[in-house]
Amino acid sequence: AQSVTQLGSHVSVSEGALVLLRCNYSSSVPPYLFWYVQYPNQGLQLLLKYTTGATLVKGINGFEAEFKKSETSFHLTKPSAHMSDAAEYFCAVSQGGTSYGKLTFGQGTILTVHP
């Protein structure tokens, strides 16, 4: 069984400030970890993913996340927020193999960026 917890359903930052969205997971097997973003009236878009190898993963739009096994975390960061980053962000986990695409999601975090 696996689960994902996103700490904070709403996060508000100022433009230019650091963005930190928290994600903790539980998994009985080595996890595959994902961050997705959803803009209004659009589908979810993959920001980045961790499968194996380097634990610091860089994604699109300047986002990155670090897999920390000891902390069972996969927090998403961006050094400087932009107004266009305002969206809902989802952390997800899968078990890989034939279940790679079977994603278990967190509850989502709505990011608001203030001018």
Partner 1 sequence: EAGVTQFPSHSVIEKGQTVTLRCDPISGHDNLYWYRRVMGKEIKFLLHFVKESKQDESGMPNNRFLAERTGGTYSTLKVQPAELEDSGVYFCASSEKAGISEEYFGPGTRLTVL
Residues binding partner 1 (CB under 8 A): 4, 32, 36, 41-46, 49, 51, 90, 96, 98-108
Query: Which element (helix H / strand E) includes 58?
Result: strand 56-58
For partner 1, which is the closer residue by CB, 13 or 47? Answer: 47
Q: How far is the CB of 48 from partner 1 (least distance, A)?
A: 11
- Contact present, 10 and 109 (Cβ < 8 Å): yes
For partner 1, which is the closer residue by CB, 101 or 115? Answer: 101
**CA-CA distances (angstroms) from residue 89 to 6, 47, 98?**
9, 9, 25
**Can you tell me the distance from the alpha carbon of 28 to that of 49, in angstroms, rounded to the nearest whole number?**
19
For partner 1, which is the closer residue by CB, 61 or 99? Answer: 99
Q: How far is the CB of 45 from partner 1 (least distance, A)?
A: 7
Q: How far is the CB of 107 from partner 1 (least distance, A)?
A: 5
- Contact present, 55 and 108 (Cβ < 8 Å): no
Non-local (6+) Cβ contacts of 97 within 8 A are: none
Q: How far is the CB of 103 from partner 1 (least distance, A)?
A: 6
For partner 1, which is the closer residue by CB, 92 or 113? Answer: 92
